[in-house]
Amino acid sequence: MNTVCSSCQATNRLPEDRIDDGAKCGRCGHALFEGDVVHATAATLDKYLQDDLPVVIDFWAPWCGPCVNFAPIFEDVAQERAGKIRFIKVNTEAEPELSARFRIRSIPTIMVFNEGKMVDMLSGAMPKAPFNTWLNESL
């Protein structure tokens, strides 16, 4: 499988059976599957969408109450699904071109991508259990 390093955006080729072995980036040595949420920009998002892992993007803004309340849930699920799904946040205030490109009309908006194509979208925040259920159904 090919996966993108969240630190240097290098693409790393890795056997799928080595995901749980503490894989590190061949360029910078950063852990590839630590479960951290990645903050993407217009310059980096397309690279992350090339990842062989499914990608979940949370389009949010710092002034949005539901977005701020949903952030810990998003981070918890990212930790739990490390090595299986890549979790990304896009600040719509800092990245208006991405908001326009993905036609974000309300926040938070969560999109699931598989092989670079959007497979599902959700508008609004939700508790952890329904969010996990939605992810399972989407993938």
Domain boundaries, the chain: 35-138
What's the mean pLDDT in 3-9?
A: 91
Domain 35-138 is of which CATH architecture?
A: 3-Layer(aba) Sandwich (3.40)
Confidence (pTM): 0.92
Strand order from edge to edge, sheet including 109-114: 38-39, 86-91, 55-60, 109-114, 117-123
Instruction: State the DSSP string of 76-120.
Output: HHHHHTTTT-EEEEEETTT-HHHHHHTT--SSSEEEEEETTEEEE
Options 8, 25, 28, 67, the catalytic residue: 67
Query: Cα angle at 112 between 30 and 119, to 5 degrees?
Result: 135
Residue 16 scores a pLDDT above 90: no
Local confidence band at 21 (pLDDT 50, 70, 90 cut-offs): confident
Query: Catalytic residue at 64?
Result: yes
Weakest mean pLDDT among 26-35, 96-105, 126-135? 26-35
pLDDT in tens, 46-67: 999 999 999 999 999 999 999 9
pLDDT in tens, 63-109: 999 999 999 999 999 999 998 999 999 999 999 999 999 999 999 99
Query: Catalytic residue at 5?
Result: no
pLDDT in tens, 108-122: 999 999 989 999 999
What's the mean pLDDT in 28-50?
A: 92
